Structure 1
């Protein structure tokens, strides 16, 4: 089963310094029929103006992944971490029993990143942070496995049975992605245009996939993220 999600029908917010597209209910966008997709609770496609950002605020009992699309993202937290990430790099924070953190764009150019929340397999984990500076070319015409559960083999581990894959598919090329029985996946067309099982996706569109293999045909160079997980 496939369901296309048109980005023009997603929730939106414009605070001036921050412009967001909400894939699921978040902040002032509330839709009781669109709270989550399996264990995937939040995807916010955020544009942050230079010299601004999210000041220190708390989180609890959530696995939080930030995927930088463009610009710079500087993270700070109550565990003493402070790091700046750029295009294609990923940070992970398990909020667990509670953590304070901030996210800022200290550069001059507008930054874009995907803020993604995954519900953990249980509450009460000790807070944890990590980041990984993936080489962008490692996802060129290839699925780059970035995140997995603790028993998986990706370099970033989270407290849930979920996998994150990134891809940059050159114009005119094709690639497949299997979604097995009792599994589902959420695909984000981060950049570019593609045809996926004859559905046309543009930049910022998304696709829900349940127990169905997909074939992606890139109409323009396509930057794609897939989050694969157990079927709910």
Structure 2
């Protein structure tokens, strides 16, 4: 099953400094049919104005991955962690037993990012934050695991039954991604793709459209134009 979720029909919130679009129920957006997808709980497409951001606020027991599409985000937390994550890179925060953090766009231009929350498979773990400079060229023509609770080599570890993949495709390129029936959710951060299921059904995804996938052994991704793709695959919840 593949369900397209068009960008224009996502939940929306505009605070001036923050223009947010919600793939799942979040903040004032309530949709009982979009609470989670497997262990994936939140996928927000945030655009943050220059010299603004989220002031200090707390989290507990959630794996939070930030994928930066444009610009950069600067993190600081009560544990003393501080760092800047640029476009094409990710940061991972395990909220665990509690963390107080802030996220700011300290750049001169707008920052755009995906904020992705995955429900953890362990409660009360020590809170942590990590970012890694992944080489962009390593993702040319394929999806690469950047954060994973499945032991993928080189990926930032997650306390979750799932993984986040990212990759870039040139127009006309095709790749296949094994899912083994697990729930997956993917969004083209840039460009346009065609998503083909096992039955041959094709779903066209424009920039920022979401696709909820389940019970597919494998999917095929075809780039109609140069594309940057982010995919999260998790286990089904009992």
TM-score normalised to structure 1 length = 0.96
> Alignment RMSD, CA only?
1.1
How far does residue 150 in structure 1 lie from its aligned partner after superposition?
5.7
SS for the counterpart of 1:126 is: coil
User: Is the counterpart of residue 77 in structure 1 residue 81 in structure 2?
Assistant: no
SS for the counterpart of 2:137 is: helix
Aligned 1:84-95 pairs, distance under 5 A: 84-95=84-95
Partner of 1:214: 219
Partner of 2:6: 6
SS for the counterpart of 2:183 is: strand
**Does the aligned pair in 2 maintain the 1:179–1:209 contact within 8 Å?**
no
Partner of 2:192: 193
Residues 97-119 of structure 1: per-residue CA shift (max 9 Å, x gap): 11100000001100001111111
Gaps of 5+ in 1: none
User: Is the counterpart of residue 60 in structure 1 residue 60 in structure 2?
Assistant: yes
**Equivalent of residue 229 in structure 1, options 216, 234, 237:** 234
Residues 174-218 of structure 1: per-residue CA shift (max 9 Å, x gap): 11111104x121111111111111111100001111121111110
User: Is the counterpart of residue 119 in structure 1 residue 123 in structure 2?
Assistant: no
Gaps of 5+ in 2: 197-201
**Does the aligned pair in 1 maintain the 2:66–2:92 contact within 8 Å?**
yes
How far does residue 137 in structure 1 lie from its aligned partner after superposition?
1.6
Aligned 1:22-61 pairs, distance under 5 A: 22-61=22-61
**Does the aligned pair in 2 maintain the 1:166–1:226 contact within 8 Å?**
yes
In 2, Cα distance between equivalents of 1:87 and 1:96 = 26
SS for the counterpart of 2:68 is: strand
In 2, Cα distance between equivalents of 1:124 and 1:9 = 35
